[in-house]
Amino acid sequence: MEKVTNWGIMATGKIAHTFAKAVNYTDGAKLYACASRNAEKAIEFGALYGAEKCYGSYEELAADENIDVIYIATPMSCHYENVKLCFEHEKNVLCEKSATLNSAQLRELIEIAKEKKLFFMEAMWTKCLPAFRKAKEWVSDGRIGEIKAIRADFSNAVDFDENDRLFRPELGGGALLDLSVYPLNFITSFLGFEPKEIHSAVNIDKLGVDMDEAVIMQYENAYASFVSGFDIDNENRAVIVGTKGRIAFNPWFFCTDTVRLYDRNNKLAEESITPHLCNGYEFEVMEVQKCLSEGLYESFINPLSDSLAIMKMMDSLRKKWHFTYPEE
Ligand SMILES: NC(=O)c1ccc[n+]([C@@H]2O[C@H](COP(=O)([O-])OP(=O)(O)OC[C@H]3O[C@@H](n4cnc5c(N)ncnc54)[C@H](OP(=O)(O)O)[C@@H]3O)[C@@H](O)[C@H]2O)c1
């Protein structure tokens, strides 16, 4: 019989609800426990998704001996402490993006995970999606030749709300850690982590968060670019252009189920549509469970070295922007 993975969910915000549905959908996954800083919220959340244990503190969740892996869904500025707490209690962790505020924090967490032999992964769910895996396959099979350019935008106009974490620098708000982390993951998955230059422009608003930014990455033989922001509505397409053809992702590229391959004459060569089974996050749940069942401490699909390299890129962008978070 397949082993059941007991999941614990830390926090009860927006994405925690989405993820809970994916856990409940996935074979071999059980939403065993949840936790909120507020016991009533935990009970309410637990009742919605059938959690056996509902804790009024993150400490109690981390200490529960029956949990196999904890999914952390708190704001960015909390991740470092939350992950450390889980590691102190010998728990495996899937932590929401961006994994930490900066690379120094992430490096420390990776060292602890390796020392304690615990599974650790940043929840970059895009990399687990079939559309993304298909594009990787087409590129490695040489279907588009040598990559010359990548464009991948992610913007989402959000009404201002002073309580929303997105507009609060002390919670790691702003476009970089919330949105740009997706195009950065996308681009580096195909072109690698060593662009010759990264050019950028940013708009830091009066609250002290980066509302939007534009980035051009110059590689030896290719360019990549993206725009992201909370004050821009965009189609959020992605395209990878090669010498023999191109790969086009449908809008909202980071979560789409549809990707198309075109030849040099703009003729559709292949189309791949793999509908989500639940809400798309089930592929990430499956990946974590696969790693745990194989005794792996990190995912080949989204290794910790990728998360760290991207965090370093985000550090260097912020350095150019003279932009720090209040905790730093
Ligand atoms: N993978 C994706 O598609 C995706 C999408 C959206 C967000 N995310 C990531 O998921 C994380 C959470 O995002 P979200 O949109 O779910 O945020 P959210 O709705 O604001 O929820 C965050 C939750 O964190 C907990 N929390 C702990 N300390 C907090 C503090 N000091 N201030 C506010 N909340 C605190 C709260 O839960 P309790 O009150 O229950 O403790 C809160 O409900 C972020 O890292 C974000 O980047 C990922």
Query: 135-151: per-residue pLDDT in tens?
Result: 999 999 999 999 999 99
Which atom of ligand 1 sits closest to the CA of residue 255? 3
Q: Could you tell me the strand order of the sheet in which 5-10 lies?
A: 53-55, 29-35, 5-10, 69-72, 92-95, 120-122
92 shares its domain with 121: yes
pLDDT tens digits for range 156-199: 999 999 999 999 999 999 999 999 999 999 999 999 999 999 99
**Tokens of residue 225, six digits:** 């670019």
User: Which of 96, 106, 129 has most ligand 1 atoms within 8 Å of CB, for mutation?
Assistant: 96
Q: What is the pLDDT of residue 175?
A: 98
Q: Cβ neighbours of residue 300 under 8 Å, at least 6 residues apart?
A: none
Q: What is the pLDDT of residue 3?
A: 85
Note whether residue 31 is domain-resident.
yes
* Ligand 1 environment, Cβ below 6 A: 11-16, 36-38, 41, 73-76, 78, 96-97, 123, 125, 165, 171, 178
Please, what is the end-to-end C-alpha distance for the chain in angstroms? 48
CATH number (domain holding residue 90): 3.40.50.720
Q: Do 268 and 262 contact (CB within 8 A), yes or no?
A: yes
Note whether residue 240 is domain-resident.
yes
Note whether residue 316 is domain-resident.
no
Instruction: Say how many Å lie between the CA of residue 11 and the centre of ligand 1.
Output: 7
Instruction: Say how many Å lie between the CA of residue 81 and the centre of ligand 1.
Output: 14
140 shares its domain with 272: yes
95 shares its domain with 185: no
pLDDT band at 307 (very low <50, low <70, confident <90, very high): very high
Instruction: Say how many Å lie between the CA of residue 229 and the centre of ligand 1.
Output: 18
Answer whether residue 293 shows pLDDT above 70: yes
pTM, two decimals, is 0.98
pLDDT band at 1 (very low <50, low <70, confident <90, very high): low
111 shares its domain with 141: no
User: Which of 9, 14, 49, 158 has most ligand 1 atoms within 8 Å of CB, for mutation?
Assistant: 14
Distance CA 222, CA 149 (A): 5
Distance CA 120, CA 22 (A): 19
Q: Do 244 and 214 contact (CB within 8 A), yes or no?
A: no
142 shares its domain with 269: yes
Note whether residue 317 is domain-resident.
no
Domain hosting 121: range is 5-125+281-298
CB-CB neighbours of 11 under 10 Å = 25
Percent of the chain at pLDDT > 90 equals: 98
Answer whether residue 53 shows pLDDT above 70: yes
Closest-CA residue, ligand 1 atom 30, reads: 75
Distance CA 321, CA 328 (A): 15
139 shares its domain with 236: yes
Note whether residue 40 is domain-resident.
yes
Helix (H/G/I), strand (E/B), else coil: 265: coil
Report which DSSP code applies to 160: -
CATH number (domain holding residue 233): 3.30.360.10
Report which DSSP code applies to 156: -
86 shares its domain with 175: no
Answer whether residue 2 shows pLDDT above 90: no
Over range 107-117, report the average pLDDT. Answer: 98
139 shares its domain with 97: no
Instruction: Say how many Å lie between the CA of residue 19 and the centre of ligand 1.
Output: 12
137 shares its domain with 273: yes
Going by C-alpha positions, the residue among 39, 35, 85, 79 that lies closest to residue 61 is 35
Count how many domains the chain has: 2
Distance CA 102, CA 168 (A): 17
pLDDT tens digits for range 192-246: 999 999 999 999 998 899 999 999 999 999 999 999 999 999 999 999 999 999 9
153 shares its domain with 266: yes
- Judged on CB neighbours under 10 Å (0-12, 13-18, 19+), 214 is middle
Q: What is the pLDDT of residue 156?
A: 92
Q: What is the pLDDT of residue 159?
A: 94
48 shares its domain with 120: yes
Place of tokens 């990548």: 150
Closest-CA residue, ligand 1 atom 44, reads: 75
Distance CA 67, CA 33 (A): 8
Instruction: Say how many Å lie between the CA of residue 140 and the centre of ligand 1.
Output: 36
154 shares its domain with 268: yes
Note whether residue 178 is domain-resident.
yes
Instruction: Say how many Å lie between the CA of residue 179 and the centre of ligand 1.
Output: 14
